[in-house]
Structure 1
Amino acid sequence: MTTVAELIVEALADHGVRSIWGVVGDALNPVTDAIRREDRLEWIGVRHEEVAAFAASAQAQLTGDLAVCMGTVGPGSIHLLNGLYDAKKSHAPVLAICGQVPLPEVGTDFFQEVDNNRLFSDVAVFAETVTSAEQMPQLLERAVNAAIGGRGVAVLTLPGDIGGLDVAKGILPPRFVPPAHPAAASSAAIQAAADAIGADAKVTMLVGCGARTAREEVIALAEKLGAPMVLTIKAKEGLEHDNPYAVGQTGLIGNPAATDAMDDADILVLVGTDFPYRDWIPGGKTVIQLDSRAAHIGRRTAVTHPLVGDSQATLQALLPLLSSRESGRHLEKAQSHYDEWMKAQRRLAEPGHDETLLGRLRSKADNPDELIRPEAVAMAVDRHAGPDTIFTSDTGMSTVWLARLVPMSNNRRLLGSFNLGSMANAMPMALGAQALDRNRQVVAFCGDGGLMMLLGDLRTSVSYNLPATFVVFNNGRLGMVKLEQEQGGLQEFGTVLDNPDLAAVATAMGLSARRVTDPQDLDGAVSEALASRGPYLLDVVTNPDEIAVPGRTKPSQAWGFAIAKAKEHIVSA
């Protein structure tokens, strides 16, 4: 006979799932016991269920297929929520198997009882509870198909007295179906967009991760229109390399060349992006938006010509309708501006920058203690990382440095909590990525605040031989919050972190580790860390006052920053 738990585990292994993340306990004991007996599945027991959900979200984003995490009754399942929200907002197909009290106790306010169906109703495209063995395999099929087809989270709740029940003899195994085949937008909408573009208007493209499968078509469109291409952070991988039209990111993590390219355009072409920051999408433009999800059209800016369809199929139909034009001043200006800005960023990252005349003058204001500049850390990692490295990044300043200074070559991948914006995601996502392939290089850009939040799961990298490299930008601050406060004219408050020696902590937890405080030691330390064959933590003490100027600074922000700095100086004097 086959039990409910065994059916679930065997079906997931048959589908291709190779690891399941979670914390063992009570209601899910039949499931973990079935995993123990299934050679095709690896159980990775984490210290905190939030890590399990983040790791599964990372795996689903990297593979495009189902990933699985588990949380047991009540608090164990609740701990999954933050990572599952990341999966939801990243459109990652994740199955969460959650425990529940025994069926006779449901509704009695039993110890640890939580209404999972209600708890997960906002985060999940499917949330149901198995109440009898006869519901299997249909409920499992519905859950997995919803996650894959809806590109989201499915939650299957298993009461403690259900997992061990036998299913009926002779039932067919679960059948999981692939998502629908993508189609192009309507021919009438495509023709209208082509007519709107015309032959002379200045066009700028804003391209997101929804266009990653249309790389050739996106670049061909930029070439045909002489259009600079602004990439969202999630579009860096797959679209940044060997792309002469790319001019970086816009928004708070962006650069002035990208911002100006959008401001100067007559027509904005948005492809596969739900870029959320309205203030960074200029008004008064003709806007063409192409997205596979109709709900995304027009929710960030007014759209003149909507195109609902697959990016690749739609662009293949659009390109023959457009006439080629020579690269004009609009593109050349954006490219030149971006190149000059990048040169300035690279100069700032040079080890001897603060010893030059201009460097000494600047450092008196923003780096009086001669700490390591975070730009230098990012560029050192880029120099020594491999061409197929998977990068993960915490939300905040570490994402700024990665976005600006670490290019994504053809086979590099990039993960972060770029839609949810959670802290503490980089390390768990690196664990998930490394479990997919222990021979592939994985590098996490960790903020010190984010790492400390889920510090216990550094040990998971040791316990399960997950040889990721954790690069900590240790500025003793919640850096992005500090910047937000100062731009608003507020004195920095509540952002200082009283960190321990993070390298010593990592060493005590079984990782190789090194603490770097001298800029002259940085390059060698990064090389050593990335050459390590086991989990490694590189604790780099960086400048907390480094200024990441956004692509467009409002006068009020500049004035607020000056006022805040004056207040801080007076208080510290």
Structure 2
Amino acid sequence: MARTVARVIIDALQELGVGHVFGVVGDALNPLTEAIRTTDGLEWVGCRHEEAAAFAAGARAQLSGTLGVCMGTVGPGSVHLLNGLYDAAKSRAPVLAICGQVPLAEIGSDYFQEVDNDLLFRDVAVHRATVTSPDQMPRALETAVRAAVTRGGVAVLTVPGDIGDQELPEDRPVRFALDRAVTRPDDPSLARAADLLNAASRVTLLVGQGARGARADVLRAAEALASPMVLTLKAKEGFEGDNPFQVGQTGLIGNPAAAHAFDSADALLMLGTDFPYRDWYPEGAKVVQVDTREEHLGRRTPVDVGLAGDVGATLQALLPLLKTGRDRTHLDDAVDRFADWQEGQQRLADPAREHRPVGKLRAALDNRDHDIRPEALAAALDAHAADDAVFTSDTGMATVWLSRFVTMHADRRLLGSYNLGSMANAMPQALGAQLWAPDRQVVAFCGDGGLSMLLGDLMTIKTYRLPVKLVVFDNRRLGMVKLEQEQVGLPEFGTELDNPDFAAVATALGITGIRLTDPAELDETVRRALATPGPVLLDVLTNPEEVAVPAKPTLAQGWGFAVAKAKEILPGR
């Protein structure tokens, strides 16, 4: 029996194990959504905004390591996918976006809602194509999926509204052929890297998400080199728990121990990371970088030896060439500094500290309304969340608190817009995560600004009865922007948010809403919220004046902050 273009696409996605397709229905998508309706094992997830659909598909792709799929109909529906697709692209997540288009005969006529999808998605997609004939199937689908999976990015397949129902002249099987090669550098390159590392007396590792599949080899390298291990934010997952070498993050969300591990190193070994902040790299150190993408080698900091290849395969070949029995002073010093910093952070997160003399003095200066400290909230969530919880975080201060107070031990997973830096990602990514793992706890660290951007998709969570736990760090501010303004001497402007009672909003939508304002009730309320069946929104009023001190605060930042505060309290502000 002949199959239609839509049926070929949907059958192939179901056989590939996609599971869920996220989107908003529309007339050009009707043949595709009808095919989903009549297909077992593939569920349509109707979102309230296509941006949320794209974030959810990208989250599912990152967590599963397999293809995520979203859809947008003609014109505005496809345009709305863009931000979530950019996040997937920057995160190297394999995502297929299927977009509707005006009838084939009307393309190029400035028809109602017509948008040139091939042009629109030119920057974000590793592959884009428009199906103009049933004869192109299934090859057009195979090419799009293969590009997304093997290149780690977004593929866009546009299907005009009058093409989806057309039958193929013959029923051809779909063959994706998605196997990927594992490569390592040649022996001379490995020898040069070993010579450099063996000649160094203080080696520091910078480990990124690209090394996650090689955890055991990375730990062996740290042991052989007696190296402290600085983690990128995305490497918290997989490397933070049960790791005697790790000293946390660097950069603005980092800590002094990691900064010292960089500054005191005479060699840096970068493993599976494209950490973008040039100012935080060590100066004067020799650098060896391992990355699967040759174009990444040396683009952030000058590299003495660049090794293009899989981190695991490369380390397995490099380790026998490394000298062992090194002095451990560099490692021990960094680890001790990190332990001291962590101890100080835990004191900040202790709600009882507000009742002690130092805490009372601090509160008189920066928390006169006795709002809940965001550090304490993050620490409570860390304490009560499941050992295999999936965490998502909005860009901004919510990510800072998660970075510093949540430990990704055991089987915990972590998602955020850590490359694109978009707002409003935590909630829709939690949506996708929960559908990927229905039986696991999913906890979203939501900024109040981010949540309110895509507030409508709370209804998607309600409709599909997804038991996600949304925790709102409700400081009535765009907190990171406020901090950025103040540290350069500008008074806060345009960052204040006139928020509703988010818990009451959630309750009105049929979701359990809890509002927390009393620090004394923090621990018990967090425990209760995480234990409550079904979706929960916990709205926590946090201190808007909280400051996250960077790893290496500068005199200029301190002076700028003081100037900003003076301007903010001047009459007539």
Q: Distance in 2 between matches of 1:366 and 1:205?
A: 37
- Counterpart AA for 2:461: S
Matched position secondary structure for 2:351: coil
Q: Percent identity?
A: 61
Counterpart of 1:52? 53
Match of 2:102 in 1: 101
Count of residues paired in the alignment: 572
Question: 2:41 — aligned with what?
Answer: 40
1:148, 1:179 within 8 Å by CA — same for their partners in 2?
no
The residue identity in structure 2 corresponding to 1:61 is: Q
State the distance in 1 between where 2:30 and 2:546 align.
49
Aligned partner of 1:230 in structure 2 is 230
Alignment partner, residue 23 of structure 2:
22
Tell me what 1:208 maps to: 208
1:267 alignment counterpart? 267
Q: Equivalent residue for 2:8? A: 7
For 1:151 and 1:203, how far apart are their aligned partners in 2?
A: 31
Instruction: Give the match for residue 277 of structure 1.
Output: 277
Q: 1:568 corresponds to which residue? A: 568
- TM superposition shift of 1:39: 1.4
**Structure-2 residue corresponding to 1:293:** 293
Q: 2-side partners of 1:178 and 1:242: how far apart?
A: 34
Q: CA separation in 2, counterparts of 1:374 and 1:285?
A: 36
> Following the alignment from structure 1 to structure 2, what is the Cα–Cα distance between the partners of residues 558 and 32?
56
Distance 1:413 1:572, change over 3 A: farther
| Corresponding residue of 1:379 | 379
- Give the Cα–Cα distance (whole angstroms) in 1 for the partners of residues 120 and 296 of structure 2: 26
* Offset, 1:282: 2.1
Shift of 1:19: 0.3
> Does residue 113 in structure 1 map to residue 90 in structure 2?
no
Quote the offset at 1:451 in angstroms: 0.1
User: Quick check: 138-147 or 282-291, which moved more?
Assistant: 282-291
Native 8 Å contact 2:265 2:282 kept in 1? no
1:168 to partner: Cα distance: 2.1
Counterpart for residue 217 of structure 1: 217
CA displacement at 1:333 relative to structure 2: 1.3
Q: C-alpha distance in 2, partners of 1:177/1:417?
A: 30
Task: Output the CA distance in 2 between the equivalents of 1:40 and 1:25.
Answer: 22
Offset at 1:199?
5.2
| Equivalent-residue separation in structure 1 for 2:152 and 2:451 (angstroms) | 28
Aligned to 1:149: 150
Question: CA shift at 1:460, angstroms?
Answer: 0.6
How much has 1:83 moved relative to structure 2?
0.3
In 2, the alpha carbon distance for the partners of 1:315 and 1:476 equals 47
Query: Alpha-carbon deviation of 1:375?
Result: 0.5
- Please list, as runs of the form range in 1=range in 2, the aligned pairs for 1:332-411 lying within 5 A after superposition: 332-411=332-411
**Deviation digits for residues 167-200 of structure 1 (CA, Å, limit 9, x no counterpart):** 123x332111224221111111111010011255
Partner of 1:68: 69
Task: Give the residue type in structure 1 aligned to 2:28.
Answer: A
TM-score by length of 1: 0.99
Per the alignment, residue 128 of structure 1 pairs with: 129
What is the SS of the residue equivalent to 1:127?
strand
- How far the C-alpha of 1:572 sits from its partner, in A, is 7.6
1:308 match: 308
CA distance in 2, matches of 1:555, 1:571: 27
Whole-angstrom CA distance in 1 between matches of 2:458 and 2:327:
50
User: Residues of 2 paired with 1:292 and 1:179: CA distance?
Assistant: 16
Q: Name the aligned partner's letter for residue 556 of structure 2.
A: S
Three-state SS of the structure 2 residue aligned to 1:391 is strand
Distance in 2, Cα, partners of 1:186 & 1:447: 47
CA-to-partner distance for each residue in 1:262-297, whole Å, 9 max, x for gaps?
011000111100000001112211011111100100
Check whether the contact 1:232–1:250 (CA below 8 A) recurs between aligned residues: yes
Report if aligned partners of 1:446, 1:471 keep a CA contact under 8 Å in 2. yes
For the 8 Å contact 1:366–1:547, the answer to whether it is kept is no
- The answer as to whether partners of 2:211 and 2:271 remain within 8 angstroms in 1 is yes
In the alignment, residue 276 of structure 2 is paired with which amino acid?
P
| Aligned partner of residue 147 in structure 1, secondary structure | helix
Q: Is the 8 A contact 1:490 1:560 kept in 2?
A: yes
Q: CA RMSD in A?
A: 1.0
Assess if the C-alpha contact under 8 Å between 1:92 and 1:152 holds in 2.
yes
Hey, what does 1:475 align to over in structure 2?
475
SS at match of 1:377: helix
* SS at structure 2 position matched to 1:352: helix
Partner SS state of residue 40, structure 1 = coil
1:307 partner SS: strand
- Give the equivalent residue in structure 2 for 1:89: 90
Amino acid of the structure 2 residue aligned with 1:104 = A
Separation in 1 of the partners of 2:305 and 2:271?
12
Q: Which amino acid aligns with 1:454?
A: L
| Maintained 8 Å contact 1:237/1:410 | no
How many angstroms apart in 2 are the aligned matches of 1:342 and 1:173? 57
1:372-416 Cα distance to aligned partner (Å, 9 max, x none): 000011110011111100000000000000011100012100000
Q: 1:109 Cα deviation (Å)?
A: 0.2
Q: What letter is aligned with 1:468?
A: V
Aligned residue type for 2:105: P
Q: How far did residue 327 of structure 1 move? A: 4.9
**Cα offset for 1:122?**
0.6
Aligned to 2:268, the other structure's residue is in SS state strand
2:200–2:266 CA contact under 8 A, matched in 1: no
Q: Which string of whole-angstrom CA distances, capped at 9 and with x for unpartnered residues, describes residues 465-499 of structure 1?
A: 11100000000000000000000000000000000
Cα drift, residue 326 of structure 1: 4.1
Q: For 1:433-489, what per-residue CA distance to the aligned partner results, in whole angstroms no more than 9, with x for missing partners?
A: 001121110000000000000000011111011110000000000000000000000
Give the letter aligned to residue 317 of structure 2: A
Using the alignment, how far apart are the partners of 2:569 and 2:203 within structure 1?
45
Matched, 1:530 2:511: no
Structure 1 SS opposite 2:147? helix
* Mean CA deviation greater in 275-284 or 67-76: 275-284
SS in structure 1 of the partner of residue 39 of structure 2? coil
Measure how far apart 1:80 and its partner are: 0.1
| C-alpha separation in 2, matches of 1:15 and 1:438 | 20
- C-alpha contact (below 8 Å) 1:391/1:412 kept by paired residues: yes
Number of the residue aligned with 1:415? 415
- Give the secondary-structure state (helix, strand or coil) at the position aligned to 2:58: helix
Q: Counterpart of 1:198 in 2: which secondary structure?
A: helix
Distance, in Å, in 2 between the alignment partners of 1:250 and 1:32 is: 46
**Counterpart residue number, 1:447:** 447
What one-letter code is carried by the residue in structure 2 that aligns with 1:381?
L
Q: Structure 1: 5+ residue runs without aligned partners?
A: none
Between stretches 326-335 and 223-232, larger displacement belongs to: 326-335
CA contact (8 A) 2:200 2:267 kept: no
Supply the distance in 2 between the matched residues of 1:522 and 1:427 (Cα, whole angstroms).
22
Q: Distance in 2 between matches of 1:200 and 1:283?
A: 15
**Cα distance in 2 for residues equivalent to 1:473 and 1:499:** 12
Structure 1 segments of 4+ aligned residues over 4 angstroms from their partners: none
Give the Cα separation in 2 of the matches to 1:184 and 1:374: 44
Query: Which structure 2 residues correspond to residues 428-447 of structure 1 after superposition, within 5 A?
Result: 428-447=428-447
1:325 corresponds in structure 2 to 325
Query: Which piece of structure 1 moves more, 73-82 or 342-351?
Result: 342-351
Which residue does 2:186 correspond to in 1?
A: 186
For 1:325 and 1:218, the matched residues in 2 are separated by: 17
Q: How does 1:532-571 map to 2 (within 5 A)?
A: 532-571=532-571
Distance 2:363 2:303 in 1: 45
